[in-house]
Structure 1
Amino acid sequence: MTAMLPQGALPWGRVCRLSSPVVQCLALIVVTFGVLVPLTCQQLLHSYFYMRFWYLNPMSQDFLQQNQEDGLTALHYFERLQAPNKSEMLAGQSSPPWLLITIITIQRQPEFHYVLQVAAHFHRLLQECGSSCQRHQIVLCNVETDPSSHQDAQLLTKFFAVVDRSGSSHQNLDHLLNRFEKEKRDYAYCLEKSLQIYKPEYVLLVEDDAVPEEEIFPVLHHLLQRRFSKPHLQNALYVKLYHPERLQRYINPEPMRILEWLGVGMLWGPLLALVYAWTTNRSSLSWPMVLFFALYSMLLVELVGRHYFLELRRMAPPLYNIMPVTECCTPAMLFSAPSANRVLGYLKGQQCYRGFAKDTALYSLLRLKGERAFVVEPNLVRHVGMFSSVRLSENPKLL
């Protein structure tokens, strides 16, 4: 005759099954990836769980509205700012700058004031930077065919030195070029004039829709004065300060991140296994459990979005990552003077067209010329321009 169990007691078989590591691990997977992560990440733009159908259109519209408000704020910033007199501007150019910030600009949608946003952020950050940024200088490179039609650039002539491409020997031929070749020539022109006129040690070539992050100068100082003094980082052809967030995942055509992804598993696998052993009163770790949590942590980071974990590196300049360069894109590029001269020589032999824009041309030079280049992670600028000057779109989206 079967003995009756006390009321509320569980059969021993059921208790054993619930305490099984396999069952517990399966339950963890279901709860994490079936419930918690989808609920918390559905509005994260760069997560696999982002609900694009529901959120992309309203988020894109909110971004455009905020961008327009930021443009007006930048316009008011310069309207209130007292313009330096000519003697003050000349005093600031008395010696070659250590870092020259050259902003390349062309007329875009005027209501967004892209170039004003970029210039205002750089100007404010330089003021806050103080003595450590005394040998930094901002220059505007206006590549509009009719420079006087670029009203925002005309406003900035009161505050910064300006280089206009009008009257250059190639300007009259621009209407015969495809947009991608013209963009490459404009880029090379601004880089060349930055070297010829100002003779800086480093040139930061920034497009007029790349707003700097708050920590850009402390990070650049750390990188240039310490990290890039190491032999394997010296003589880089260029250093990218931006790579699109949507292309920063581990599962990507760029395989150099696989080692980092394995490192995530090697770090968090044992740690999570220790927590599991402690909470379940197990006396020792087992390799299957360490392997499970390594794979679990790798999957979690990838599905939530590598971009969001990279943001943790902003806590201090030494935490920023330097990786072998990736192909797309060129909103902010850092060159030393010698490397900039090499780039100019290389670009003269490159013809750009649709599918082979200047970013692809620069990337192709690495293998062709035996050069090296790097990208800084996380990004040191934010790309705010949803309206491209070469790829026209009437209804732009964040993705």
Structure 2
Amino acid sequence: MRSKGTGYLSDSVSVFARPSWGQSTHVSELSFILARRDSFHGLSTGIHQIEAESANIKVEEMPHTKKPCCGVSSSGRHVCGLLLRNWTAIGLYISVFCVILPICCHKWYFSVYYNQKLHLGGASPSVYARKVNDECIVRAVSFFSQKRDAQLPRTTNDVKMVIGFVTIKRKGEIKDGGDYKPRYLLQTVAGLLQERLPDTIHVLICNVATNPSSHTDAAFLSKYVTVVSRYGKYGAAKPPGHLQDKEREDYIFCLNQSLSYNPRYVLLLEDDALVVPGAVDVLVYVVDKIEDRRYRFEASKTLAKLYSPLSLQRDFYTDKPSRIVRNLLELLSIGLFGGSLLRILYTLLCERNRENHRLLDGYFVASLICCVLAALAISRPHLLELRRISKQLYMVLEANDCCTQAILYHREVAKSIVSQFEKGFVPDWYPIDAGLDYLAEKLGLAPVCVEPNLFTHIGMYSALHEGENVYLKDFA
């Protein structure tokens, strides 16, 4: 029999209830059921709390997790980064070797991109060289026409350096049958006098023409500098012997005349050696460093070549191992410097949002190789021009065995060389440049050179070979 008022509760209880044995039994069963209900309620509450805490933990952890960019995993981002760097390196090589260098280097003689047709505008090398030389003559004539006060010859007091020019009248034959007067001496002396020469420098011209009066430029310049003639006023009594012997004798004559002023240094120039603007200031700086023994050799054993042919400055074509090693180190330094700059630029442009940056990676190696190849394509003689930015960047290093266009002698070295030549200790078949290299080795001298060159060679017509001797690189 069911009790009234129990309703749904009674139906529920009946499921869990034991067989009814009276009123007390019903009470105890009801208590048991209520207790079970409370326990189930507490259990469900605990489960809900655990779920809520778990949800809170997940919500708190989510901000610290990194979301893949555009749904790409970390491995995918790594692959994308490699592809981007590869395409960037390819674009770098194409822009450098197919666009930038061809535009900049097509007029640079020793560059692999040199184009003679574009450089000369269709003219022949001889015609172009004469055109450049004529423009230089016009500038030299204009300089002397504006120079009203003639520079009187300096006295012999306190002369630290004598700059001597060995000169002879030159003429060239052109294809139309006429004669061409290059007038090198007028150009080179004008270039030198435009420099700020210290009062301790004396300029001397050695006219070694067999007929001195025929060298009209030397006669004209006697108003501005000291001019001495080897063959006196009336010229040579008899024709000279072999031209190579005459060249050596003329050179030693001018060197001996320069020593008569008792200078500390003698700079002997051929008349086609044109000074580079600002070279005198650099020369004074280099001499001071030589005297301070900054270059680890004695000044009293110095023979410094201030001009070296540009073709020899490439240094992979020389027999001097020290120069080859030095050139390799220059290439490596260019690669490291340029590669570092390109890598930093790539980081700033393409990796600004990344937290970890690496300098040494594949892109850096590609940039380094690119800079080395670009330096080889441009060629070292043209890269040396960057050192003219400051006189502190000029280099003094071992000289190649060549050329006498511009050589700086210490007084003791000059005296030894004159003595050796006059005593006949140099083989007769040696030209003057080979004889100087022979004596340098015999006397234990230090033949060095200054790079980049302080003088340029503008000679197109050789008095020794009696003809046109065009080197277009000197007019580039």
| TM class, shorter-length | 0.7 to 0.9
Residue 272 of structure 1 corresponds to which residue in structure 2? 342
Question: What's the CA shift for 1:260?
Answer: 2.3
CA distance in 2, matches of 1:94, 1:395: 38
Question: What's the CA shift for 1:17?
Answer: 9.0
Identity of aligned residues (%): 29
Question: 1:88-237 alignment to 2 at 5 Å?
Answer: 89=153, 92-109=154-171, 111-126=181-196, 129=197, 133-166=198-231, 175-177=240-242, 179-196=243-260, 198-230=261-293, 232-235=296-299, 236-237=301-302
Q: Residue 237 and residue 63 in structure 1: after superposition, are their counterparts in 2 closer, same or farther (change >3 A)? A: same
Q: Is this contact kept in 2: 1:386–1:397, CA < 8 A?
A: yes
Q: Deviations over 1:71-98 (max 9, x none)?
A: 243235435544659xx54xx3050411
Q: Residue 301 and residue 112 in structure 1: after superposition, are their counterparts in 2 closer, same or farther (change >3 A)? A: same
1:358 aligns with 2:421: no
Give the one of 96, 99, 102 matched to 1:35: 99
Q: Is this contact kept in 2: 1:250–1:302, CA < 8 A?
A: no
Residue 296 of structure 1 corresponds to which residue in structure 2? 370
State the secondary structure of the residue aligned to 1:350: coil
Which stretches in structure 2 are left out of the alignment for 5+ residues? 1-75, 172-179
Which structure's CA Rg is the greater one? Answer: 2
Aligned residues: 373
Q: Residue 369 and residue 44 in structure 1: after superposition, are their counterparts in 2 closer, same or farther (change >3 A)? A: same
CA distance in 1, matches of 2:84, 2:142: 65
Q: Is this contact kept in 2: 1:72–1:112, CA < 8 A?
A: no
Residue 333 of structure 1 corresponds to which residue in structure 2? 407
Q: Deviations over 1:358-398 (max 9, x none)?
A: 22332333334332121111111122221122234447341
Q: Is this contact kept in 2: 1:207–1:331, CA < 8 A?
A: yes
Residue 66 of structure 1 corresponds to which residue in structure 2? 132
Which stretches in structure 1 are left out of the alignment for 5+ residues? 1-11
CA distance in 1, matches of 2:100, 2:142: 44
Matched AA of 2:93:
I
Question: What's the CA shift for 1:20?
Answer: 4.8
Residue 8 of structure 1 corresponds to which residue in structure 2? none
State the secondary structure of the residue aligned to 1:141: strand
Q: Residue 94 and residue 176 in structure 1: after superposition, are their counterparts in 2 closer, same or farther (change >3 A)? A: closer
Q: Over aligned residues, Cα RMSD in angstroms?
A: 3.0
Residue 4 of structure 1 corresponds to which residue in structure 2? none
CA distance in 2, matches of 1:186, 1:381: 21
Give the one of 302, 310, 314 matched to 1:249: 314
Q: Is this contact kept in 2: 1:103–1:208, CA < 8 A?
A: yes
Residue 5 of structure 1 corresponds to which residue in structure 2? none
Question: What's the CA shift for 1:220?
Answer: 1.3
More displaced stretch, 341-350 vs 101-110: 341-350
State the secondary structure of the residue aligned to 1:245: coil
Question: What's the CA shift for 1:227?
Answer: 4.3
Q: Residue 388 and residue 317 in structure 1: after superposition, are their counterparts in 2 closer, same or farther (change >3 A)? A: same
More displaced stretch, 276-285 vs 96-105: 276-285
Structure 2 length-normalised TM = 0.70
Residue 25 of structure 2 corresponds to which residue in structure 1? none
Q: Residue 24 and residue 365 in structure 1: after superposition, are their counterparts in 2 closer, same or farther (change >3 A)? A: farther
More displaced stretch, 284-293 vs 102-111: 284-293
Question: What's the CA shift for 1:40?
Answer: 2.6
Q: Residue 78 and residue 30 in structure 1: after superposition, are their counterparts in 2 closer, same or farther (change >3 A)? A: closer
CA distance in 2, matches of 1:174, 1:338: 33
Higher RCO (CA 8 Å, separation ≥ 6 residues): 1
Question: What's the CA shift for 1:43?
Answer: 1.9
Q: Is this contact kept in 1: 2:305–2:448, CA < 8 A?
A: yes
CA distance in 1, matches of 2:251, 2:344: 53
Q: Is this contact kept in 1: 2:105–2:378, CA < 8 A?
A: yes
Q: Residue 23 and residue 83 in structure 1: after superposition, are their counterparts in 2 closer, same or farther (change >3 A)? A: closer
Q: Is this contact kept in 2: 1:144–1:165, CA < 8 A?
A: yes
Q: Is this contact kept in 2: 1:249–1:302, CA < 8 A?
A: no
Q: Is this contact kept in 2: 1:97–1:199, CA < 8 A?
A: yes
Question: What's the CA shift for 1:125?
Answer: 1.7
State the secondary structure of the residue aligned to 1:298: helix
Question: What's the CA shift for 1:288?
Answer: 4.5
Residue 45 of structure 1 corresponds to which residue in structure 2? 109
More displaced stretch, 254-263 vs 218-227: 254-263
More displaced stretch, 25-34 vs 111-120: 25-34
More displaced stretch, 60-69 vs 112-121: 60-69
Matched AA of 1:206:
L
Question: What's the CA shift for 1:294?
Answer: 2.5
More displaced stretch, 117-126 vs 271-280: 271-280
1:388 aligns with 2:462: yes
More displaced stretch, 239-248 vs 266-275: 266-275
CA distance in 1, matches of 2:302, 2:398: 12
Q: Is this contact kept in 1: 2:212–2:232, CA < 8 A?
A: no
Structure 1 length-normalised TM = 0.83
Matched AA of 1:246:
S
1:349 aligns with 2:349: no
CA distance in 2, matches of 1:112, 1:151: 12
Question: What's the CA shift for 1:334?
Answer: 0.8
CA distance in 2, matches of 1:392, 1:228: 41
Q: Residue 66 and residue 154 in structure 1: after superposition, are their counterparts in 2 closer, same or farther (change >3 A)? A: same
CA distance in 1, matches of 2:336, 2:284: 32
Q: Is this contact kept in 1: 2:107–2:118, CA < 8 A?
A: no
Q: Is this contact kept in 2: 1:105–1:142, CA < 8 A?
A: yes
Q: Is this contact kept in 2: 1:18–1:24, CA < 8 A?
A: no
Residue 383 of structure 2 corresponds to which residue in structure 1? 309
